[in-house]
Amino acid sequence: MFLQVQVREEDQPAFRFPWRRPGDEGQTVAYQMMVENFGAASSPTSCTFVLRRTAEDNPGYSDIAHKVTENFYVDNYLDSFDDAASAIDCCRRMGELLKKGGFELTHLMTSSREVWQAFPAEKRAQPELNVDLDNLPIERTLGLLWHGETDTFTFSFNKTDGTETKRSILAAVSSVFDPMGFLACVTLISKILLQDILRYGRYDGEADKLKIGWDDRLPESLLKRWYTFAGELNALQALRVVRSLRPLDFDPALTTYQLHTFCDASTRGYGAVVYLRAQCRSSTAVSLVTARAKVAPVRQQTIPRLELMGAILGYRLGIRTKRTLKVNIDSVTWWTDSSTVLHWLRTEATLYSAFVANGKEEIREGSNSSERRHLPGAQNPADDGSRGIYATELNADQRWFQGSSFLREHPSKWPINNGQLPEGPDLEEMHPVHIRAVTAAESRIDRLIETSTSLTALERSVAEMDGFSEKPTVARL
């Protein structure tokens, strides 16, 4: 893609470089690139601009122009269709549009053999593949492994042998690429371990002496936890996550969709998970769309505050998911097992601390009370994302992927919305209001009122009073 975009002549000197053949001892020759190259930080932006400009300059393809903006990631065109005929037509028209800008759409990869056969071999990802005998290939898409034959996502991991230091474990944890959050409940365990490693030894006022260096071998207690986690990662290679959010036997014209977001928190982390509930006639299917899990702050927070942080995370994740999905969402439901958070969201009180007030107002602005519901903690799938589960416990039939079982039932059988007011110190997030009452002799007040010519003058006179007979009293509400 980069080599197909020409650089303006006045900008080409920015890509000048000296060149001399290997082994020559003569003078170097100065060359300059006439097209975008892979070493310039500006190349992706410049090429994306040209790609979008191609769509704008060809109004005859206005029906697919929006796909250039929404479905391209640099030079990768990713799209999904309801049937093979629409996929073939759209891809052919997309190829014609891009060709007008000097781009060539190649390296086709699909889960449909009908679409695969509709394009010549040189346009496919593997031209030598026999579509009648061989399985469709595996393609790496934005870091995820996608099996075209089964239309599922799979995962692979780097070897973790020899990771015994803080530096190597951080590198191993960061190498787990999971942009959709399918493995958020598993990777949370490694994040908690990494947090414990980073703050290990910071106590008794001797942090400098007890702190572990980046290349020091970790204590056995921490290494044992790491070996347990890393040794089970290979179990995830057998995991298959179905790409399609709608079952193939569901009629697209008769299918309705609902978005359900669950959030939860524990002392070590908080998380949120979003599910899409598809219903066609009398059949219902629930699919995990995306999830996030984060470790709790190092500075200790109360459980209600962590639950609010989980609710904010779930709200933001749900809003982004609704905006990204290209289906009509009939309703959105926000689930939490925290009665305290629900009470904060329902009350109109404005005397909460800044942390609670800002969080609850952000959620209230984008949702209404009828969309926020309570459920028992035992039925909350986000509990896995707030506490973490080991890789050997995760499979496609686990509730993390399937969602709460009641989502497959009629809404009348869903948990009853709990309106109980929480008990205990959870509501002490409200700031006290201080009211100062100043008393003085009635005669002096009356005299000031009689002699003052205006309210401003009266206020000034009261402010200048001294020698009160009684001390100011403070009332706390």
User: 91 and 120 in contact (C-beta within 8 Å)?
Assistant: no
The mean per-residue pLDDT over the stretch 324-352 comes to 89
Q: Over the stretch 156-206, which tens digit does the pLDDT of each residue have?
A: 888 777 788 999 999 998 888 888 999 999 999 999 999 999 888 655 455
Mean pLDDT of all residues in 28-57:
92
Which position has the higher pLDDT, 66 or 416?
Answer: 66
Largest CA-CA distance found in the chain, in angstroms, rounded: 108
Q: Please list the residues that pair with 30 across neighbouring strands.
A: 18
pLDDT exceeding 90 applies to what percent of the chain? 62
Calculate helix-pair angle for 84-100, 62-70, nearest 10 degrees.
Answer: 90
Q: Average model confidence (pLDDT) for the chain?
A: 87
Give yes or no for residue 98 having a pLDDT over 80.
Answer: yes
- Residues 286-305: pLDDT tens digits? 999 999 999 999 888 999 99
Number of H helices, E strands in the chain: 15, 15
C-alpha–C-alpha distance, residues 51 and 102, integer Å: 9
Residues 6+ apart with CB under 8 A from 62: none
Give the pLDDT confidence score for residue 326 in this predicted structure. Answer: 87
Rounded to whole angstroms, what are the CA distances from 401 to 183, 250, 286?
10, 19, 9
- Residue by residue, DSSP assigns 225-276 as HHHHHHHTGGGGGG--EES-SS-TTS-GGGEEEEEEEEEEE-SSEEEEEEEE
| 117, amino acid identity | Q
**Residue 265: which residues within 8 A CB-CB, separation 6 or more?**
271, 296, 303, 306, 307, 309, 310, 338, 386
Query: Do 166 and 212 form a contact (C-beta atoms < 8 A)?
Result: yes
Given this model, what pLDDT does residue 429 score?
A: 58
DSSP 3-state assignment of 119?
coil
Q: Taking residues 28-38, what's their average pLDDT?
A: 93
Average pLDDT of the segment spanning 229-244: 91
In the predicted structure, residue 349 carries a pLDDT above the cut 80: no
466 pLDDT exceeds 80? no
User: Are 267 and 304 in contact, with CB atoms under 8 Å apart?
Assistant: no
The rounded distance, in Å, linking the Cα atoms of 407 and 241 is 19
Residue 335 pairs in a beta bridge with: 262, 373
Does 120 have pLDDT greater than 60?
Answer: yes
* pLDDT of residue 350 exceeding 90: no
